[in-house]
Amino acid sequence: MNGKKTPATLAAGAAKMLKKDWQLIALVIPALVFIVVFSYAPMYGVQIAFRKYNAIGGISGSPWVGFNQFVKFFQSYQFTRVLRNTISLSVYGLLAGFPIPIMLALALNCCPFRKFTKTVQMTTYAPYFISVVVLVGMVMQFLSPKFGVVNNAIKALGGEEVLFMGVPRYFSSIYVWSGIWQGMGWSAVIYIAALSSIDPTLHEAAIVDGATRFKRVIHIDIPGLVPTIVILLILSAGQIMNVGFEKVYLMQNNMNLEFSEVISTYVYKVSLAAGMPDFSYGAAIGLFNSAVNLALILGVNAVAKKYSGGGLF
């Protein structure tokens, strides 16, 4: 009578929907099961970070130690170094690498020569499919002191060969710029798709008004990319603490360890590669890493919603 739905009414509506759309629901069930099994069920293991885990007692049988593992990490002499390296590599990669796919997409979109555009797009897109192992192998060959192209060019110009992989201060630039070279073509595809969705009548009207190509890029193309840029920036900011383990670990050596030891490689060494692996310590570091990423993505999303009017959620 007052418009409120009773439990019986809700149950009847659910039964009616189930009978009507059971095919669609059946299609969704495998995806839901996948999410539950691989995303929610493993959360049971998060408590390892708050226990002194041992294989005999299992997760629930291991003694509870609260935040002791987190305190141990915060007081570790490695804490400052791995946190600094992780943040510096991610921020460096974000500042240097985020604008390049945007500029590449704008340049390709402005180019009037379609064959040249497709050639450049394919050339920049192809490196994305190179495996991390192969990419690191290529980098080491290019920078080899004896046979590398870079050192050969330096010696040809009268300089002395440089052991790039052994100089700690070079590690960040090698890591970041090799990643930009590999991923800029893939990232540009998203922006090219966004540019193709801009209403062409806006450009036609601008041409009639006498706007140059540069002015149309500034006042039409870039504003059209802003929603996509905001979303990708939020997602990128949420991954600041997640520096790729495989690439860093493969490029890492005793000479550059000062700048190459990041959270992911440190977790691997203390929780898996150590003689007496400490799973609880590694889980605590991983949980701390995830908590920081969550805080970053929420913060950047709030700022984006405040200043641009749009966000990820």
Map out the domains of the chain as residue ranges.
7-50, 68-308
4 φ, ψ (degrees, to nearest 5): -80, 140
What crossing angle do the helices spanning 222-237 and 279-308 adopt, rounded to 10°? 160
Rounded CA separation 138/44 (Å):
41
**In this structure, what DSSP letter does residue 276 have?**
S
- Predicted local confidence at residue 310, as pLDDT: 66
E strand map for the chain: none
**In this structure, what DSSP letter does residue 16 have?**
H
> What is the CB-side half-sphere exposure of residue 44 using CA atoms within 13 A?
8
Q: Could you write out the DSSP letters of every residue in 156-173?
A: HTT-----GGG-GGGHHH
> 0.75 exceeded by the pTM?
yes
Q: Could you write out the DSSP letters of every residue in 210-255?
A: T--HHHHIIIIIHHHHHHHHHHHHHHHHTTTT---HHHHHHH--TT
Are residues 120 and 108 in contact, defined by beta-carbon separation less than 8 angstroms?
yes
Q: Which residues lie across from 53 on neighbouring strands?
A: none
Q: What is the CATH number of domain 68-308?
A: 1.10.3720.10
Q: Please report, in tens digits, the pLDDT of each residue of the chain (313 residues total).
A: 455 667 777 777 777 877 788 888 888 899 999 999 998 888 888 888 898 888 788 888 888 888 998 998 899 888 999 989 998 998 899 899 899 999 999 999 888 888 888 899 889 989 999 999 999 999 999 988 888 888 888 888 888 888 888 888 899 999 999 999 999 999 899 999 999 888 888 888 988 888 888 899 898 999 889 888 888 888 888 778 778 788 999 998 888 888 888 888 888 888 777 666 788 888 888 888 888 888 888 887 787 777 666 666 6
Q: Which residues lie across from 51 on neighbouring strands?
A: 64
Are residues 195 and 108 in contact, defined by beta-carbon separation less than 8 angstroms?
no
Would you call 273 helix, strand, or coil by DSSP?
helix
> Residue 257 contacts by C-beta under 8 Å, 6 or more apart in sequence?
168
Radius of gyration of the chain (CA): 26
